[in-house]
Amino acid sequence: MAARVLVGVKRVIDYAVKIRVKPDNTGVVTDGVKHSMNPFCEIAVEEAVRLKEKKLVKEVVAVSCGPQQVQETIRTALAMGADRGIHVEVSGKDYDSLGPLQVSKILAALAKKEEASLIILGKQAIDDDCNQTGQMTAALLDWPQGTFASEVAVEGDKLKVIREVDGGLETIKINLPAVVTADLRLNTPRYATLPNIMKAKKKKITNVKPGDLGVDLTSRLEVLRVDEPPQRQAGVKVETVEDLVGKLKEAGRI
């Protein structure tokens, strides 16, 4: 039975915000833009909290990597029911190049340090859409993984995970300790209301540096350029079928 669950939460640009590319094409505009917890991470937190409410786990620890602002995201996780938080301080250039490889190394180190037996993450972040952190973390720890989980059930010392795959649903049974990544239909996350946020202020957030965990943050990737997707061309209206055929021929489509 899993005693401690580690939940990774990522601070991303809010899903409803219209993204704008920086004029120098090095990235997207983040200054002054509304940020919030990655939606799939919310689902991950909710699942962990539900496991605790069912008394299947004893403690839920929320983890986030980044600068000072990620503490807001950790606080949201605490407001949703996590017991304590860990803020891994990463800022500046290190934060810009922080990706799944670095985060999974950090999570693996933390899982060993905190003696966690279950890690729940969102399946992917809506900003980079990598869908890699869960898988890499499992590989680094040599733990089994249940990715794209739409249902998780504890069965003794094993975990039954129903995964959303292209052909439908796949049910697997994996040993604990394990890594699970949450898919959209896993659960309905609760809203972190103001009273819950206030109560969560009493919960602790500890600060950790990647160096303390023995993690090297160097990235093997370099972002060369960021561009907007091509603008949608306006549609053309035609009067008759002959016109349509004519236009299609013109465009070389038929």
Partner 1 sequence: MSNPLRGEVVRLYKNLLYLGREYPKGTVYFRERLKVAFMKNKDVTDPEKIRKLIDRGEFVIKELEALYFLRKYRAMKKRYYDPEH
Q: From 85-93, 187-195, 200-208, 219-227, give the range in contact with partner 1 by CB under 8 A.
A: 187-195
3 DSSP β-pair partners: none
Task: Please name which of 200, 182, 138 lies closest in space to residue 39, comparing C-alpha atoms.
Answer: 182
Helices (H) and strands (E) in the chain, counts: 7, 11
Q: Which of residues 96-135 bind partner 1 (CB under 8 A)?
A: 126
Closest to partner 1 by CB, 188 vs 233, is 188
Residues between 213 and 252 that touch partner 1 (CB under 8 A): none
Of 188, 218, 231, 240, the one binding partner 1 (CB under 8 A) is 188
Please state, in angstroms and rounded to a whole number, the distance separating the CA atoms of residues 61 and 119: 10
In the chain, what is the straight-line distance between the N-terminal and C-terminal CA atoms, in Å? Answer: 63
Q: Residues 184, 226, 238, 248: which binds partner 1 (CB under 8 A)?
A: 184
Q: How many residues would you count in the chain?
A: 254
Assess 191 for contact with partner 1 (CB under 8 A). yes
Is there a contact between 87 and 33 (Cβ–Cβ < 8 Å)?
A: no
- Nearest-approach distance from CB 47 to partner 1, in angstroms: 15
Binding site for partner 1 (CB under 8 A): 15-16, 39-40, 126, 184, 188-189, 191, 193-195, 197
